[in-house]
Structure 1
Amino acid sequence: MAKQHSNSIKDEDTYEALREDGASKEKAARIANAQASDSQEPGKKGGKQPPYEEWTKDELYERAQELDIDGRSEMDKDALIEALRNH
């Protein structure tokens, strides 16, 4: 049985499964809440942005800065991509 984390988590079972798979609390909450919402389709590919591999290092760094990813100033392009995908 899933634990009651807070009123902000809409799908406790999904949240718990994602946490067990290693997702951060923030990421698990975003996905669980999106799946619980009738207006969102998290399984559907979205967005018009090109893949991170096509971004410049400066663009990746700016996005990492927006997300407040620790250690970004020491990361190369591959590390920035990995950090952004795992955020």
Structure 2
Amino acid sequence: MPNASIKDEKTYKSLREDGASREKAARIANAQASDSQHPSEKGGKQRPYEDWTKDHLYDRAQELGIEGRSDMDKGALIDALRNH
């Protein structure tokens, strides 16, 4: 059954098969289907996560609702954020 919020079903299914979360697969598939977005290009101006403090990483993980963040060290927070 097609999902109206997914703009590129083929890309979405491929990403899900590769292990991407539903949210991440939908975000990428919809960006690729949009003429105004270019997800394959280098994007934001944000500093790399390695330059963030653990407190800032924790706050970002909290914003995204990442489970288990209170038990994570800096490296685990970075991995969780990148794989969200």
Q: TM-score, normalised by structure 2?
A: 0.97
Pairing of 1:21-40 with structure 2 (within 5 A): 21-40=18-37
Alignment partners' CA distance in 2, 1:9 and 1:83: 24
Count of paired positions:
84
Q: Which runs of 5+ in 1 are unaligned?
A: none
Deviations 1:1-23 (A, max 9, x none): xx62x100000000001001000
Alignment partners' CA distance in 1, 2:65 and 2:7: 25
Query: 2:43 aligned with 1:46, yes or no?
Result: yes
Percentage of identical aligned residues: 76
Q: TM-score, normalised by structure 1?
A: 0.94
Deviations 1:27-82 (A, max 9, x none): 00000000000010000111111110111100100000110100000000000000
* Alpha-carbon RMSD: 0.8
Pairing of 1:9-24 with structure 2 (within 5 A): 9-24=6-21
Alignment partners' CA distance in 2, 1:49 and 1:8: 28
Query: 2:75 aligned with 1:70, yes or no?
Result: no
Q: Which runs of 4+ in 1 moved over 4 A?
A: none
